[in-house]
């Protein structure tokens, strides 16, 4: 019995010493930097590490220049697809921009702010319910809501024209709720 406890004690001591050796900390004097060129912090706050034999440089985010370029191109393609969405729908008797419209509107805002010579007309529309005067005012409020969204996100107010057609140009001529929902919209027309 005594032999077994001595073996256990010896095993515990050896395990503790191995763990203690693994837990030691190194100082900057112990770190060998030969083979890697560390440059100082860049403007964005990242550190670039150039490793011999590898193409591109790694940033602290772990992305090569090629990967960053591919990511930028993918983002541009996504924004181009989102800009193809030019009709934005509204709830009955409301002029607030819906949350599902925000991504596409952000893509339009980014494009317009990057291209100050491009102008748009925001065409506000309503369904047939309500008086002509009320619907013209509601269509204008809807277009102004989209205009505010674009301006807040970097578009110059001079690039945007607001037009209201009220109920005069329906997208759907039916009288069901689904037809009326198609008519409650703002359309972005690039000029």
**Which ranges constitute the DSSP H helices of the chain?**
2-22, 65-83, 102-114, 132-152, 177-183
- Whether 50 is in a domain gets the answer no
The tens digit of pLDDT for each residue in 53-94 reads 444 444 545 678 899 999 999 999 999 999 999 999 999 999
CATH number for the domain harbouring residue 181? 3.30.1330.60
Among the listed residues 103, 113, 120, 107, the one whose alpha carbon sits nearest the alpha carbon of residue 154: 113
Residue indicated by tokens 């494009």: 111
Contact in structure between 122 and 143 (CB atoms under 8 Å): yes
Q: What is the pLDDT of residue 7?
A: 54
Q: Which residues pair with 123 in a beta bridge?
A: 163, 187
pTM of whole model > 0.75? no
- Whether 69 is in a domain gets the answer no
Domain total in the chain: 1
Q: Which residues pair with 58 in a beta bridge?
A: 49
pLDDT value at 8 more than 70: no
């Amino acid at each position: 019995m005594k032999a077994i406890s001595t073996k256990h004690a010896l095993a515990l001591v050896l395990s503790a010493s191995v763990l203690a050796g693994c837990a030691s900390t190194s100082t900057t004097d112990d770190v060998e930097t030969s083979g890697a060129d560390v440059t100082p912090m860049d403007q964005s706050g990242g550190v670039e590490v150039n490793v011999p034999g590898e193409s591109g440089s790694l940033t602290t985010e772990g992305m090569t220049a090629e990967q960053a370029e591919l990511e930028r191109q993918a983002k541009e393609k996504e924004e181009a697809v989102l800009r193809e969405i030019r009709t934005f729908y509204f709830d009955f008797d409301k002029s607030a921009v819906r949350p599902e419209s925000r991504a596409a509107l952000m893509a339009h805002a980014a494009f317009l702010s990057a291209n100050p010579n491009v102008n748009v007309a925001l065409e506000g529309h309503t369904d047939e319910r309500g008086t002509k005067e009320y619907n013209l005012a509601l269509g204008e409020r809807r277009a102004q809501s989209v205009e505010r969204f674009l301006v807040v996100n970097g578009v110059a107010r001079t690039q945007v024209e607001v037009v209201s057609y009220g109920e005069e140009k329906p997208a759907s001529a039916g009288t069901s709720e689904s037809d009326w929902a198609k008519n409650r919209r703002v359309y972005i027309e690039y000029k």
